[in-house]
């Protein structure tokens, strides 16, 4: 084998692991449930698919799914883009804390957030859905676009100014084109999340509003109409694939890789009145939109009927009579952490290999492929797990392995987003220099790639922990009743009647939030500079 062939083989093997992982844990279960629904006796029955597009009610569901996602994405961009600028370019005390706090909502389970919104007094409505979608995806825009914004060459905007362009014209003609790939990426992720949104629609949308995702859930659990549910899943999956394909096509002219810039070069303290207004306004938006709902949860958890204090937290240690839980809620903390750490380890290994393989090839199809699970119904996936993973070596039902595997699947695209750019940024001359000093290709990987990637992998792992901690949709289907995770416990507690259960749910939410904050802060601290695309 020539060295080139061997290097290519290495890349292929590295890519095969994540591809196989996604194929077995995502492709196979989803295919199985769709197959069972659409071709129950081996031949394709197109009737359910036809119904999706001919039944006026179902057509309404499809249409609502699309426009609420588009509107949510638009609202998120409008509110979060100024925030991205403020956090990327202005220097002010407490900024890194703000940056960490705005990331927390992203990892919180929907049940919890929906309740926080209801607790603040937001009525069930379209407005509540939009607000909640902004709450969840604000961080996506701030992080993805902010990273790009931060590393834009400030001289380009200044050069345009010197050529006579007004601030507005510079924003339109210089800054906007440079930010476009990041805005498109953030908008795509946001749209996918809103398109497949489940908990937010179910809890905040009110009884008349349904999206594909909630309809799949309703048809499966309420009417046991598996063929129709499968048809809806197919439509959803096709829409997601079409979107990813379109985005990939329009963004093929890949962006110029951003050079990492020194803080002093790109950041400044606000000095004009306009910048102070911008900073203040954005901090107010972040506070009202993101911090208030979280604060309400904490306050509620500290004010049980017995008076201000930690009683609700203490009560988590015991199994109440009549509870639908089989274990004291506090046990869920340990369970959640064990699962999340295992999920993060899996996601880091698989995602790290994907990032490494992706960095060595110019095309980014692997990134797109790994993003597909983001856009697929957690309900479909959960049922797919139950149906598909029940035979032979894949009989994982009831196995504790299934939970971290499902969570790793959800965290995987973010690991790739965080690690890929770091690996891509390694100057090829570093590798050449190492080779000239006598390092074999394996030694180059071990002594150059790995140390540089190690911090990024660690940071990605911490984010994976945060995401896994908050994962609800897929986890709820595969978790064992005697070992629930925190979001599952919160959902169950919220489903129980009584003040005590409600405050217990708030206390569990408080613990979950603290864990997520710690994971996000640890992850942000460990980043290599401010590299990465998330």
Q: How far apart are the first and last CA of the chain?
A: 38
**CB closer to other proteins out of 161 and 455:** 161
Residue 177 class from Cβ within 10 Å (0-12 exposed, 13-18 middle, 19+ buried)?
exposed
Is residue 436 near other proteins by the rule CB under 8 A?
no
CB 109 within 8 A of CB 490: yes
Minimum CB distance to other proteins, residue 165 (Å): 5
Question: CA triplet 347, 452, 527: central angle to 5 degrees?
Answer: 65
The answer to whether 462 touches 100, Cβ cutoff 8 Å, is no
Binding of residue 123 to other proteins (CB under 8 A)? no
- Nearest distance, CB of residue 436 and other proteins, angstroms: 25
Is 265 a residue that touches other proteins (CB under 8 A)?
Answer: no
Work out which of 20, 123, 127, 177 binds other proteins, going by CB under 8 A: 177
For 91, 109, 162, 291, the CA distances from 296, given in Å and listed in that order, are 28, 16, 49, 9
d(CA 193, CA 471): 13
Using CB under 8 A as the binding rule, whether residue 178 contacts other proteins is answered as: yes
Q: Decide: is 166 part of the binding site for other proteins (CB under 8 A).
A: yes
Q: Which stretch binds other proteins (CB under 8 A): 11-19, 156-164, 347-355, 385-393?
A: 156-164
Q: Map the footprint of other proteins across residues 240-259, applying CB under 8 A.
A: 256
Q: Which is nearer to other proteins, 254 or 284 (CB)?
A: 254
Contact status, residue 190 vs residue 141, Cβ threshold 8 Å: yes
Least distance (Å) between residue 162 CB and other proteins: 4
Q: Which two tokens stand for residue 127?
A: 């407005």
Tell the residue number behind the tokens 């939410």, with chain if given: 509
Minimum CB separation from other proteins for residue 272, in Å?
Answer: 8
Minimum Å gap between C-beta 151 and other proteins is 13
Least distance in Å: CB of 186 to other proteins? Answer: 19
162 binds other proteins per the rule CB under 8 A = yes
What is the closest distance, in whole angstroms, from the C-beta atom of residue 275 to other proteins in the complex? 11
Torsion angles phi and psi, residue 268, rounded to 5? -150, 155
Q: CA 34 to CA 249: how far, in whole Å?
A: 27
Residue 158 C-beta: closest distance to other proteins, Å? 5
Token pair of 296, please? 């309400």
The residue among 45 and 267 lying less far from other proteins, judged by its C-beta, is 267
Residue 161 binds other proteins (CB under 8 A)? yes
CB nearer other proteins, residue 159 or residue 292: 159
Of the pair 169, 314, the CB lying nearest other proteins is at 169
* Least distance from other proteins to the Cβ atom of residue 141, Å: 21
CA-CA-CA-CA torsion sign (370, 376, 382, 384): negative
Q: Which residue stretch of 120-128, 148-156, 362-370, 393-401 sits at the interface with other proteins (rule: CB under 8 A)?
A: 148-156
Check the CA dihedral 236-240-243-249 and report its sign. negative
* Chosen residue from 222, 252, 271, 321 binding other proteins by CB under 8 A: 271
Nearer to other proteins, 174 or 465 (CB): 174
State the nearest-atom distance from the C-beta of 177 to other proteins, in Å: 4
Cβ 11 vs Cβ 423: under 8 Å: no
Residue 95 sits in the site that holds other proteins (CB under 8 A):
no
**The one among 7, 50, 59, 156 contacting other proteins by CB under 8 A:** 156
Q: Are 15 and 366 in contact (CB under 8 A)?
A: yes
Q: Which is nearer to other proteins, 161 or 447 (CB)?
A: 161
> Around Cβ 428, how many Cβ atoms within 10 Å?
7
Angle CA 69–75–80, to nearest 5: 120
- Residue that the structure tokens 């004291």 belong to: 328
* Number of residues forming the site for other proteins (CB under 8 A): 20
CB 292 within 8 Å of CB 120? yes
Compare residues 158 and 318 and give the one whose CB is closer to other proteins: 158
Assess 160 for contact with other proteins (CB under 8 A). Answer: yes
Smallest distance from other proteins to CB 366, Å: 25
Structure tokens at 444: 């180059």
Minimum distance, C-beta of residue 286 to other proteins, in the bound complex (Å):
26
Q: Among candidates 457, 488, 438, which has minimal Cα distance to 336?
A: 488
153 contributes a contact to other proteins by CB under 8 A: yes
Among 6, 169, 446, 525, binds other proteins (CB under 8 A): 169
**Residue among 163, 246, 284, 295 that touches other proteins (CB under 8 A):** 163
Q: List, in sequence order, every residue forming a beta bridge with 268; answer none if it has no partner.
A: 90
Complex with other proteins: residue 173 or 318, whichever CB lies closer: 173
Q: Alpha-carbon torsion 111, 115, 118, 122, what sign?
A: negative
User: Quick one: which H or E segment has residue 240?
Assistant: helix 226-250
Q: Does 274 bind other proteins (CB under 8 A)?
A: no
Cα distance between residue 209 and residue 198, in whole Å: 11
Q: Which of 309, 312, 306 is nearest to 501 (CA)?
A: 312
Among 7, 13, 159, 242, binds other proteins (CB under 8 A): 159
Stretch that binds other proteins, among 170-178, 186-194, 345-353, 513-521 (CB under 8 A): 170-178
For the CA atoms of 146, 185, 468, 462, the dihedral, rounded to the nearest 10 degrees, stands at: -40
- Give the interface with other proteins as residue ranges (CB under 8 A): 153, 155-156, 158-167, 169, 173-174, 177-178, 256, 271
């Amino acid at each position: 084998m020539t060295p080139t062939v061997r290097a290519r083989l290495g890349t292929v093997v590295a890519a095969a692991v994540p591809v196989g992982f996604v194929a077995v844990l995502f492709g196979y279960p989803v295919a199985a449930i769709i197959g069972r629904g659409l071709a129950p006796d081996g031949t394709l029955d197109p009737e359910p698919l036809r119904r999706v597009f001919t039944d006026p009610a179902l057509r309404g569901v499809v249409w609502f799914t699309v426009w609420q996602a588009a509107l949510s994405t638009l609202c998120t961009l409008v509110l979060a883009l100024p925030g991205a600028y403020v956090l990327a370019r202005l220097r002010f005390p407490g900024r890194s804390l703000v940056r960490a706090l705005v990331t927390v909502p992203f990892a919180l389970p929907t049940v919890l957030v929906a309740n926080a919104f209801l607790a603040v007094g937001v009525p069930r409505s379209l407005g509540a859905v939009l607000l909640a979608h902004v709450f969840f995806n604000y961080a996506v825009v701030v992080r993805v676009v902010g990273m790009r914004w931060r590393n834009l060459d400030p001289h380009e905007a200044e050069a345009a100014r010197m050529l006579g362009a007004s601030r507005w014209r510079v924003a339109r003609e210089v800054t906007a084109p440079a930010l476009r790939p990041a805005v498109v990426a953030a908008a795509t992720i946001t749209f996918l999340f809103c398109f497949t949104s489940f908990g937010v629609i179910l809890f905040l949308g009110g009884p008349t509003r349904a999206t594909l995702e909630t309809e799949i859930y309703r048809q499966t659990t309420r009417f046991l109409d598996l063929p129709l549910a499968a048809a809806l899943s197919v439509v959803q999956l096709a829409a997601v694939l079409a979107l990813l394909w379109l985005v990939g096509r329009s963004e093929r002219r890949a962006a110029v890789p951003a050079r990492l810039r020194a803080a002093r070069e790109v950041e400044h303290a606000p000095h004009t009145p306009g910048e102070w207004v911008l900073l203040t306004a954005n901090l107010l938006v972040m506070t009202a939109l993101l911090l208030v709902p979280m604060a309400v949860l904490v306050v509620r958890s500290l004010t049980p009927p017995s008076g201000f204090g930690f009683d609700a937290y203490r009560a988590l240690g015991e199994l109440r009579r009549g509870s639908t839980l089989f274990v004291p809620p506090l046990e869920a903390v340990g369970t959640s952490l064990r699962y999340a750490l295992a999920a993060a380890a899996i996601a880091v290994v698989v995602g790290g290999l994907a990032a490494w393989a992706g960095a060595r090839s110019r095309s980014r199809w692997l990134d797109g492929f790994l993003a597909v699970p983001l856009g697929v119904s957690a309900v479909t996936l959960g049922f797919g797990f139950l149906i598909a993973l029940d035979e032979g070596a894949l009989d994982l039902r009831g196995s504790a392995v299934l939970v971290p595997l499902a969570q790793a699947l959800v965290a995987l695209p973010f690991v790739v987003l965080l690690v890929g750019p770091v690996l891509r940024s390694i100057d090829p001359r570093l590798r050449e220099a190492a080779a000239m000093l006598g390092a074999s290709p394996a030694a180059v990987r071990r002594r150059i790639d790995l140390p540089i990637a190690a911090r990024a992998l660690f940071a990605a792992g911490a984010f994976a922990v945060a995401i896994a901690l908050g994962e609800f949709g897929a986890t709820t289907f595969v978790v064992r009743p005697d070992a629930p995770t925190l979001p599952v416990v919160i959902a169950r507690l919220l489903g129980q009647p009584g003040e005590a259960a409600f405050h217990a749910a708030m206390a569990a939410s408080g613990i979950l939030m603290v864990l997520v904050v710690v994971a996000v802060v640890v992850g942000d601290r460990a980043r290599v500079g401010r590299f990465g695309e998330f």
